[in-house]
Amino acid sequence: MKRKLVILGNGMVGHRFAEKIAEYGGAEKFEVTILGEEPRRAYDRVHLSDYFTNRSADSLYLSPSDWYRANGIRLLLSEPAISIDTVSRKVITSAGTELPFDELVLATGSSAFVPNFEGVDKQGVFVYRTIEDLEKIMTYAKQVSKVAVLGGGLLGLEAAKAVLDMGKESHVVEFASRLMPRQLDEAASSVLKSKIESLGVRIHLNKETKQALGDSSFQGLEFVDGSVLEVEMLIISAGIRPRDELAKNSGIEVGQRGGVLVDDELRTNVYGVYAIGEVALHKGMIYGLVAPGYEMAETLAYNLCSPGQKTKSYAGSDLSTKLKLIGVDVASFGDALGQTEHLPIAYTNPRTGVYKKLVISPDGKKLKGGILVGDADAYSTLLTLYLNNVELPAEPESLIVGTPSKEGSAFGSLPDEAKICSCNNVSKGDLLGAIRSGSCSDLKGLKECTKAGTGCGGCIPQMNSILKEELRAQGKVVTEHVCEHFKYSRQELFQIAKVKGIRSFEEMIRTHGMGNGCEVCKPAVASIIASIYNEPIQKHREIQDTNDKYLANIQRGGTYSVIPRIPGGEITPDKLIVIGQIAKKYDLYCKITGGQRIDLLGARMEQLPDIWKDLVEEGFESGHAYGKAMRTVKSCVGSTWCRYGVQDSTAFAIRIEERYRGIRAPHKLKSAVSGCIRECAEARGKDFGIIATEKGWNLYVGGNGGVNPKHAILLAADLDEETCVKYIDRFMMFYIRTADKLVRTSAWLEQLEGGIEYLKDVIINDRLGINKALEEEMDNLVGTYICEWKDVVEDPEKQKKYKHFVNSEDPDPTVCFIEERGQKRPVDWPKKELVSN
């Protein structure tokens, strides 16, 4: 008989516990039931503020909708427990359901702490805790312009960011003398305060609230010092309180200040009843971070699923955290405030808003903690040194004033039990085991197998280092080189070509390579040169692949397709007739493409220049459908015709396509512009997509269709046209500069350390100080555009290349067609016949 396991709470920790039960074979031992108070399945509360941007919980859910059923788990939503009978061992739910249990796990989490001041219950006062809370906040915010957030901790600053993103005047009110008082010292808080205020958020410190102002609705705050803050809405994010009321009413022991008391095996004082996450009080500590809850969940799941084995013990958790708050990097780890015997080393740069502090042992050999504000690139390296007690270099200050390696030679010598990912409690040994199993040969697979790197992401550089070292140890080649002819990555070759003014493959391989080159490096170098100098691709014809060599896509049967540019998909009747006439003249097959263009298929090689000439004379130009270049910008009709449209998407799509036409990149680029949120142009399935709002345009990046479709991610919201174009300029040039060969923007963004938040920092906040250069480079490409078809049409020497035979004008005799549905198409390939022996 299976034992009955009931889990109270379907938050992040409750869900992780259920995952671990399934992973450890618990389905064979337990009949699992989860009670959830909220109306939706478990979601990522850490990234709750993303809901303000996406207006959808889909990206926040921790598992697919069928995950519970697939793992034999019964999930009851909107049905919390209302009482626990520890004698008859059953739980009563809000629906009156009686659930007997053999084991009971309290994962009820915490609720928002609401200070008890007069008027706190007025209309217009909200807590910031659940998706339902956010929906209420968004609805009420439509009628106000000034909002205050009570609480200057992690969640409070996230709430302030959300307020700012909604276009409201944003205030943060903090009782303490500094922001994030549990993680930052005075100096770090001062730097953070300056950075956040520069973005438009107003900070009020040392403020004790006396009462809320207003009659029935909230109109402001009056403080004990007599000052007043006039705002129209209040969001409370002033801390948490453990949800221990069920335990308290059931005779389960709780702490004097709240929290269910547990031992090192997460047991309460009642046999078979356990507590994990923010409701658990372990050695006097309530943890307000998800990583300790995950560690508790894994410990308890292992112990329940492994009877007779040596039990695991929970010894407490590290409180390290790395965040990006309103575009500002903030990280804290270990004894960050130096509360034990320590030797602090601090570095401050007021000009750039950077503060770094290390807390080291008195002998200078071990790292005890640290704080990083404004620049947290060294966080992953420092955290690994701290977690694994690695001896520091002779001059530890070099770790914050120098440029510490992101991969670091120290990681190879770490023991297998060394913790790499503190968010998900993944050790070096766990990573090595996944790699050695053969199922994880790249970073993406390693993240999926182990969950490492899926939390704050700070451990990704170490994961990458361990992955590469292990693959090398297995005798596998791990290299960033373009190919064996160049000992450089694509990014490095791009910089070499740009800095040294190299404009040909011959010069590049002579000065920085070896041998004669190959089919990998030749097109890569040609693309780099085209991306920098925008010269006609035919200048480098002999190092191109077939499509670029002939400025057309080769199709089955040996013919080529011709796709003229039709910006935004808009075309006049006269031009539509011209395309039909040219198609009839050369007997071409016509097909409307998915990108709203007309594809003329079946052209022989020798016909291409003549077809282009006819098209160019009628005002058409190359659509670059054959190149790793900017291709189409799809659009709906927008406000010009559609009754739902809020902006002129067609006009903007035409502007976008005409600006970026022909620009070469590491991979093809596609775009779309939708005139409203109904998204008829499918903008979020493109490398960059633009969606109209009442206030302007939302810009999304990093999407694609194809075999592995990806939804693009919001880069910036409610932009005017000029700002939107400026951000696209920067995004495209940053991608062209830094992506590896043949890497689409979606994969590039996934591999980019720091992901979308880092990209926002670069593109919007100019973190790297390169935005002016990116804009100038794009202006140069735009200003030097040449239609590649016209370039051939006007040059008789180039036209000579379009012959099938060197010594004859005859066409390829193997090209054959048949008729189908009134048009020609290639003959079918012969079917392979089975041959018996």
> What radius of gyration, in Å, describes the C-alpha atoms of the chain?
31
Q: How far apart are the first and last CA of the chain?
A: 57
Q: Does the pLDDT of residue 832 top 50, yes or no?
A: no
Please give the CATH superfamily to which domain 3-109+243-306 belongs. Answer: FAD/NAD(P)-binding domain (3.50.50.60)
Q: Do 623 and 568 contact (CB within 8 A), yes or no?
A: no
Q: List pLDDT tens digits, range 410-456.
A: 445 567 777 788 777 788 888 888 888 877 777 778 888 888 877 66
Q: Which CATH architecture has domain 321-401?
A: 2-Layer Sandwich (3.30)
What are 282's two structure tokens? Answer: 């372990």
Q: For residues 196 and 503, what is the distance between their CA atoms, to the nearest angstrom?
A: 45
Q: List pLDDT tens digits, range 768-786.
A: 999 999 999 999 999 999 9
With cut-offs at 50, 70 and 90, classify the pLDDT of residue 379. confident
Q: For residues 685 and 680, what is the distance between their CA atoms, to the nearest angstrom?
A: 11
Residue-level length of the chain:
837
Which pLDDT value is given to residue 404? 40
Q: Is the dihedral of CA 480, 483, 486, 491 positive or negative?
A: negative
Which pLDDT value is given to residue 327? 67
Q: Which CATH architecture has domain 112-241?
A: 3-Layer(bba) Sandwich (3.50)
Q: Give Cα 667 distance to the centre of its chain.
A: 20
- What are the sequence ranges of the domains in the chain? 3-109+243-306, 112-241, 321-401, 419-474, 490-544, 545-622+805-829, 628-794
- Please give, one letter per residue, the 3-state secondary structure of 571-607: CCHHHHHHHHHHHHHCCCEEEECCCCCEEEEEECHHH
Which pLDDT value is given to residue 82? 95
Q: Does the pLDDT of residue 640 top 70, yes or no?
A: yes
Averaged pLDDT, 457-476: 76
Which pLDDT value is given to residue 77? 94
Q: Does the pLDDT of residue 89 top 80, yes or no?
A: yes
Query: What are the residues whose beta carbons fall under 8 Å from the beta carbon of 425, sequence distance 6 or more?
Result: 291, 294, 295, 298, 419
Averaged pLDDT, 525-532: 90
Residue of higher predicted confidence among 229 and 836: 229
List 698's β-bridge partners, or say none. 691
Q: For residues 359 and 341, what is the distance between their CA atoms, to the nearest angstrom?
A: 9
pTM over 0.75: no
- Please give, one letter per residue, the 3-state secondary structure of 36-59: CCCCCCCECCCCCCHHHHHCCCCC
Q: Does the pLDDT of residue 406 top 70, yes or no?
A: no
Write the CA distances from 336 to 343, 403, 800, integer angstroms. 11, 21, 71
Which pLDDT value is given to residue 479? 64
3-state secondary structure of 502: coil
Pairing of strands 817-820, 823-826: antiparallel
Known binding residues for [4Fe-4S] cluster are 636, 642, 676, 680
Fold of 419-474: Arc Repressor Mutant, subunit A (1.10.10)
Q: List pLDDT tens digits, range 25-75.
A: 988 899 999 999 999 999 988 778 777 766 777 878 899 888 999 999 999
Around 370, how many Cα atoms within 13 Å sit in the side-chain half-sphere? 31
Q: For residues 555 and 250, what is the distance between their CA atoms, to the nearest angstrom?
A: 73
Which pLDDT value is given to residue 265? 95
Q: Do 232 and 124 contact (CB within 8 A), yes or no?
A: yes
Fold match flag (419-474 vs 628-794): no
Q: Is the dihedral of CA 254, 258, 263, 267 positive or negative?
A: positive
Q: Does the pLDDT of residue 161 top 60, yes or no?
A: yes
Query: What are the residues whose beta carbons fall under 8 Å from the beta carbon of 309, sequence distance 6 or more?
Result: none
With cut-offs at 50, 70 and 90, classify the pLDDT of residue 834. very low
Known binding residues are 636, 642, 676, 680
Q: 133-170 as b/e, with b when 16 or more CB fall inside 10 Å?
A: bbeebeebbeebebbbbbbbbbbbbbbbbbbbbbebbb
Query: What are the residues whose beta carbons fall under 8 Å from the beta carbon of 346, sequence distance 6 or more?
Result: 187, 355, 356, 357, 358
Pairing of strands 209-213, 220-223: antiparallel
Which pLDDT value is given to residue 225? 93
**Amino acid at residue number 623:** G
Cβ atoms < 10 Å from Cβ of 212: 20
Known binding residues for siroheme are 680
Task: Give the range among 232-246, 260-274, 310-324 with minimum mean pLDDT.
Answer: 310-324
Name the nearest CA neighbour of 259 among 106, 426, 391, 56: 106
Q: List pLDDT tens digits, range 182-231.
A: 888 899 999 899 888 887 899 999 999 999 999 889 999 999 999 999 99
The share of the chain scoring above pLDDT 70, in percent, equals 95
Q: Is the dihedral of CA 692, 693, 699, 703 positive or negative?
A: negative
Q: Do 206 and 173 contact (CB within 8 A), yes or no?
A: no
Q: For residues 396 and 364, what is the distance between their CA atoms, to the nearest angstrom?
A: 8
Q: Is the dihedral of CA 583, 586, 590, 596 positive or negative?
A: negative
What are 13's two structure tokens? Answer: 């920790």
Write the CA distances from 586 to 599, 610, 612, 787, 798, integer angstroms. 13, 9, 11, 22, 21
Count the helices and strands in the chain (H runs, E runs): 26, 38
Please give the CATH superfamily to which domain 545-622+805-829 belongs. Answer: Sulfite Reductase Hemoprotein;Domain 2 (3.90.480.10)
Averaged pLDDT, 626-632: 91
Looking at 602-661, list the stretches that DSSP marks H as alpha helix, in order from N- to C-terminal side. 608-617, 649-660
Phi-psi region of 408 (alpha: psi -120 to 50; beta: other; left: phi over 0): left
Q: Do 169 and 145 contact (CB within 8 A), yes or no?
A: yes
3-state secondary structure of 799: helix
Pairing of strands 669-674, 688-692: parallel
Q: For residues 748 and 703, what is the distance between their CA atoms, to the nearest angstrom?
A: 11
The secondary element (H helix, E strand) that includes residue 461 is: helix 460-473
Averaged pLDDT, 1-21: 94
What are 397's two structure tokens? Answer: 């200050």
Query: What are the residues whose beta carbons fall under 8 Å from the beta carbon of 159, sequence distance 6 or more?
Result: 49, 128, 149, 151, 235, 237
Q: Is the dihedral of CA 806, 808, 811, 815 positive or negative?
A: negative
The share of the chain scoring above pLDDT 90, in percent, equals 50
Residue 745 burial class via C-beta count within 10 angstroms: exposed 0-12, middle 13-18, buried 19 and up? buried
Residue of higher predicted confidence among 537 and 354: 354
Q: For residues 621 and 642, what is the distance between their CA atoms, to the nearest angstrom?
A: 29
Q: Does domain 628-794 have CATH number 2.40.50.1070?
A: no
Q: For residues 277 and 183, what is the distance between their CA atoms, to the nearest angstrom?
A: 20
* Phi, psi torsion values for 154, nearest 5 degrees: -60, -55
Q: For residues 764 and 723, what is the distance between their CA atoms, to the nearest angstrom?
A: 10
